[in-house]
Structure 1
Amino acid sequence: MSLPRLDLHGRRALITGAGSGIGRALALELASRHGTLALTGRRPEPLAETAALVAKHGGTAHTITADLAADGEPERVVAETVTALGGLDILVNNAGNVRAGVLDDIDVADIRAMIQLNLVAPILATRAALRHLRAAGARHGHAAVIGIASASALVGSPFYATYAATKAGLTRFDEALRRELIGSGIHVATVYPGPVDTPMMASTNAGSDLGYGLRPVNEVVAEIVAGLEARHIDIDTQVPERLALQELNARDPLAVDAVLAPKLGQLRAAVSTHRSI
């Protein structure tokens, strides 16, 4: 028996990393469905900009400035969200950071920052949100947890080892959680964006010649929302060329090694500046 489409209309949602990029674009999509949103991020000014745009798109927003990598912050953000919104229907674990480069050139502090924000924070935020999401799921059956992972969770890219590990960890967390929540009315979905034209990508010099051509964020988010409404559990927004590499990796990973080997020096130089921490 097929489930009804996920109804995103009028939902109370918490979106992490909502000051720009995918987080902001998702906020506007939910706002156009008259959502009531809690927006969190590290800097108040971009959050205020997103909140103003949410209002223009038909939604309402409450902003929470927070560093989700800090002790106790995921729990505080969820508690403030529930107080402000009167409950919670949707949690979007979107906040993330990246530091690319040869592993032994990356500072330990940057490694820990990726693990804390990309993996530990969404686990703790989800843990804090679950009883509220369960209540919503029991009431209307359209609650959701959405993890914004990465193409790197599916194909480990050189010079992104720690980042790939955190995003793969988020993927398995979502999968296990989905099975834990069968029958709860909570839909769990994981999103796999390739490179997207967002501020997170501003510091990289890798372009389409190295497989890092940027997709417009609004196109990617439109695909994410369509996938959510169809209750897809895996939403892959990569371009065809990257999807082909993903297929090859599943079939013959050493063939991917051979494809990437001639480009390693060029890729290393191009991504060495990529840092959003």
Structure 2
Amino acid sequence: MTTYFQGKTVIITGASAGVGAETAKAFAKMNANLVLLARGQKALDEISKELSISTSVLTIAMDVSSSSDCQKMLVSAEKKFGAIHYLINNAGYHKRGEVENNSPEQLAKMVDVNLRAPIELTALILPYIRRSIAKGGVGGIVNVGSLAGRTPLQGAATYSATKSGLRAFSYALADELKGSGISVGVVSPGPINTGFIMSEIDEVEDIVFSQPMSSPQQVTNAIISVAKGEKIEISLPNSSGWLTTISYLFPTLRRLLRPLLYEKGRKAKERYRNKA
């Protein structure tokens, strides 16, 4: 693993905190060239200062849902490193709550950031990755989804829809690019011990905490495995992946189990809150 990504250029969205930052650190240890994207320059500067000791880093503060920003970023990345090999679509947005309690703008932003942006950036980056492969390189695209994309999640209907769409896109694109040398896959984690959930714990649906919490490092390990083409999807934890499959295939069973999962999640949520 230590040499697989050496000298390869990896673009990571949402790279300034949480899973994105942890993933950047992991690729830095493997001597990959890093292009780190996020909205805030200050946070990017901080992680760049840490990682530039061991590898080359380009940071760009931008909006991943902006087509022009993405196009300019790709030109800058190829100009700096000479080639682009991997894209990690990690950036995400979640305005919690039921559909009717969210504004149209909030709903649209979830669709833009979680689904439209990674699809569009993927389409834009493919010619760059193809050029790299033509020179004898390797390449891949990893989309960070969610267990909410594997089965409908009430209280997060729009978020669930965007992650479901991203998962479907990943599988379809993998078929389209079969034999091209470009690996495509999706990582579908449950709750992750980051600020994305823990800073909004009171707003998070109780049922979310019915599943075991993963660490950013565990998600990062899954991202690296998918990037190497070892699997097309990794669910975290694996047992939750099986549960979401069963609940999707048997909706009546899902509805019967829901009260039990809510109660289990409520108790777990209280334990997490007391530890904070």
Q: TM-score range by the shorter chain?
A: 0.7 to 0.9
Show structure 1 runs of 5+ residues with no match.
Answer: 1-5, 271-277
CA shift for structure 1 position 158: 1.0
1:207-261 per-position Cα deviation (integer Å, ceiling 9, x unaligned):
6884155322112212332343352111212263x23421421442211111114
Show structure 2 runs of 5+ residues with no match.
Answer: 270-276
Within a 5 Å distance, the mapping from 1:127-146 to structure 2 comes to 127-146=123-142
**In structure 1, what residue type is equivalent to 2:142?**
I
| CA distance in structure 1 between the partners assigned to 2:47 and 2:120 by the alignment | 24
**Structure possessing the higher relative contact order (Cα contacts under 8 Å, 6 or more residues apart):** 1
* 3-state DSSP of counterpart to 1:221: helix
Aligned-pair identity in percent equals 25
Kindly report the root-mean-square deviation, in angstroms, between the aligned alpha carbons of the 2 structures.
2.5
Q: Given the alignment of the two structures, is residue 43 of structure 1 paired with residue 40 of structure 2, yes or no?
A: yes
Per the alignment, residue 260 of structure 1 pairs with 258
Instruction: Confirm or deny: 8 A CA contact 1:74 1:121 kept in the other structure.
Output: no
* 3-state DSSP of counterpart to 2:135: helix
Q: Given the alignment of the two structures, is residue 61 of structure 1 paired with residue 57 of structure 2, yes or no?
A: yes
Per the alignment, residue 82 of structure 2 pairs with 86
Per the alignment, residue 203 of structure 1 pairs with 200
Per the alignment, residue 272 of structure 2 pairs with none
| CA distance in structure 2 between the partners assigned to 1:99 and 1:66 by the alignment | 20
Instruction: Confirm or deny: 8 A CA contact 1:119 1:166 kept in the other structure.
Output: yes
Q: Residue 173 of structure 1: which of 162, 169, 172 is its match? A: 169
| CA distance in structure 1 between the partners assigned to 2:264 and 2:27 by the alignment | 40
CA shift for structure 1 position 77: 2.1
Per the alignment, residue 27 of structure 2 pairs with 30
Q: Residue 11 of structure 2: which of 11, 14, 18 is its match? A: 14
* 3-state DSSP of counterpart to 1:18: coil
Closer, same or farther: CA 236–262 of 1 in aligned 2, 3 Å: closer
Kindly report structure 1 stretches of 4+ aligned residues shifted beyond 3 Å. Answer: 206-210, 226-230, 261-268
Instruction: Confirm or deny: 8 A CA contact 1:150 1:194 kept in the other structure.
Output: yes
**In structure 1, what residue type is equivalent to 2:210?**
G
Instruction: Confirm or deny: 8 A CA contact 1:140 1:185 kept in the other structure.
Output: no
* 3-state DSSP of counterpart to 1:28: helix
CA shift for structure 1 position 28: 0.9
Q: TM-score, normalising length from structure 1?
A: 0.86
| CA distance in structure 2 between the partners assigned to 1:192 and 1:125 by the alignment | 19
Closer, same or farther: CA 120–223 of 1 in aligned 2, 3 Å: closer
| CA distance in structure 2 between the partners assigned to 1:209 and 1:129 by the alignment | 33
| CA distance in structure 2 between the partners assigned to 1:208 and 1:152 by the alignment | 11
Within a 5 Å distance, the mapping from 1:234-253 to structure 2 comes to 234-238=233-237, 240=239, 242-253=240-251
* 3-state DSSP of counterpart to 1:218: helix
* 3-state DSSP of counterpart to 1:152: helix
Per the alignment, residue 274 of structure 1 pairs with none
Instruction: Confirm or deny: 8 A CA contact 2:15 2:24 kept in the other structure.
Output: yes
1:55-81 per-position Cα deviation (integer Å, ceiling 9, x unaligned):
24x222100000122352222222222
1:181-231 per-position Cα deviation (integer Å, ceiling 9, x unaligned):
122111111111111112211212346884155322112212332343352
How many pairs are equivalent? 262
Per the alignment, residue 215 of structure 2 pairs with 216
